[in-house]
Amino acid sequence: MILKSRDKPILAMLEWIRVRLMTRLYAKKEGIEKYARKLCPSIQDKLEKLKVESRPFSATPVGSFLYEVASQYERHVVDLVKKTCSCRYWDLNGIPCKDAITTIYTNIDIPEAYTHPCYHKETYMEIYKEVLPPMPGQLEWVETGQPAPLALHIYKPPGRPPKQRKTALDEPKNPYKASRLNRPVKRGKSKKKGHNSRGCKAGITRETPWQRRLRLEREKTARGSVLAPSTKSGSAPQAAP
């Protein structure tokens, strides 16, 4: 989100980040106040997809709020009191899985009532109720009488400043980006693995350009003599009938 401001000076970058966060918090707060449903929009969309996927499932009551849910390929145990399912999806995410949704509808209830409170609209509004206070301009700042800080002389290296930040050694990598680590290197022309174009030895000889030119001329002359028709001295070619 802050890639647009990483090449700016430190004060300009921090000011850009402050304004960006201030407007983002206000937009989030205004958007959730206009939302009419109980769950957050993204969680509600995910729950609607699970409702469609739960249609082939059937629930069989076993005990008090205990059901066995089965489909053509799988079977799980759902407990509505503990809000658990043997598939572990509901336990880990707090969102009812396909088996739990089938059980909830069999129990004549709605899945939104069994979703974790952290996904509710009230929780979302509680998070974004605080706003960043606006800041007056530099002309309205209080004078302290202290000497003005001097900027340090920073050596600017040649080239364009980088926008991507440096990652730590223990920071997890991007799971959606293919890594080139432990991937066998393959030469494009020779189609052999274990080296690249710099280390490829295919087609490399120790002859100088002058020796290579003479060799190619000799090979061209030899091919011309082989392809030429062989004629005997003193014999004329016979005319066609």
How do strand 66-70 and strand 58-63 relate by DSSP bridges?
antiparallel
Q: What is the mean pLDDT of residues 187-201?
A: 66
The more confidently predicted of residues 147 and 178 is 147
Instruction: Please compute the mean of the pLDDT values over residues 198-215 and round it to a whole number.
Output: 71
Structural element, H or E, at residue 12: helix 10-33
For the segment 161-189, the average pLDDT, to the nearest whole number, is: 75
As a whole number, the mean pLDDT across the chain is 83
pLDDT value of residue 96:
95
Rounded Cα distance between 100 and 78, Å, is 6
CA 138 to chain centre: 40
Position 198 confidence tier, pLDDT thresholds 50, 70, 90: low
pLDDT at 222: 86
pTM (2 d.p.): 0.55
pLDDT of residue 225: 76
Domain ranges within the chain, ordered by starting residue: 41-123
Q: Tell me how far apart the alpha carbons of residues 198 and 227 are, in angstroms, rounded to a whole number.
A: 39
Nearest-CA neighbor of 115 among 87, 86, 80?
A: 80
Does the pLDDT value for residue 220 go beyond 80?
Answer: yes
Residues 108-140 have pLDDT tens digits of 999 999 999 999 999 999 988 888 888 888 888
Give DSSP secondary structure letters for 113-160.
GGS-GGGBHHHHHHHT---PPP---GGGSPP--PPPPPPP-----SSP
